[in-house]
Amino acid sequence: MTRLQDKFALVTGGTSGIGLETARQFVAEGATVAITGRDPQALERARAEIGGGLLAIRCDAGSIDAQRELAQTLAQRWPRLDVLYANAGDVTHRSLEDWDEAAWDRLMATNLKGPLFLIQALLPLLANPASVILCGSASAHIGLPQSSAYAASKAGLLSLARTLSAELVARGIRVNGLSPGPTETPALGKLGLPPEQQSAMQAEIRKLVPIGRMGTPLELAKAAVFLASDESRFVVGTELRVDGGVTGL
């Protein structure tokens, strides 16, 4: 399979779940791939598991300085960047009364501020043409209790997919959103809720899916391959929802 042959691709948050599987599929399709994460051990496990010359870079997705350092690292190693999949995310869910400013700022830095400044830092490296994929969420379109800050951050990111497309399209850079619905990933265990609330929320999430099951990382990764490839070169400033019908039925 060579849908991404000779392309250079960066996947942020690539050590588990959708990000890890997307990196695997990008490599399988012929791309040269870099992933980021905060845990050095998880990065090494991903590098060993995927192989293919995978470049694993430690990076805090919520730090502006770290985004600039990441861009510099890639510029020193690669001639260009053809694909950016901004997948790193903070999935914290809390009741309204439990949010505080520090937790809000941390989530927004990772989910919204980081991607914007990463794209800014990567501009000199992004090819013409290039594909930028921003990981949204079905939560941006539904009223799931305890998802307020998370859903707001993803709604903002999907807005960036439209506005940055308008700003960057003349440079050959396509920006699109890719929004997963409920997906079986380790992130489901990182919602930040007490155990009983987490179990109740997971049960509620599963009930939301009209297709009758949760999605898989592979299904999301295949959608990312499409958006990264030249097959989607007429797809600009939109949102691809891979959500089992959650937001449409």
- pLDDT digit string, tens, across residues 135-174: 999 999 999 889 999 999 999 999 999 999 999 999 999 9
Backbone angles phi, psi at 176, to 5 degrees: -140, 155
Domains of the chain: 8-241 (3.40.50.720)
Other CB atoms within 10 A of residue 238 CB = 16
- pLDDT digit string, tens, across residues 9-56: 999 999 999 999 999 999 999 999 999 999 999 999 999 999 989 999
- pLDDT digit string, tens, across residues 193-214: 677 777 777 777 778 899 988 8
Other CB atoms within 10 A of residue 29 CB = 18
Instruction: Supply the angle between the helices 114-122 and 64-77 in degrees, to the nearest 10.
Output: 30
Please list the active-site residues.
150
Q: How far is it, in rounded angstroms, from Cα 165 to Cα 97?
A: 36
pLDDT beyond 80 at 190: no
This prediction's pTM: 0.94
pLDDT given at position 40? 97
pLDDT given at position 192? 66
- pLDDT digit string, tens, across residues 212-238: 888 999 999 999 999 999 999 999 999
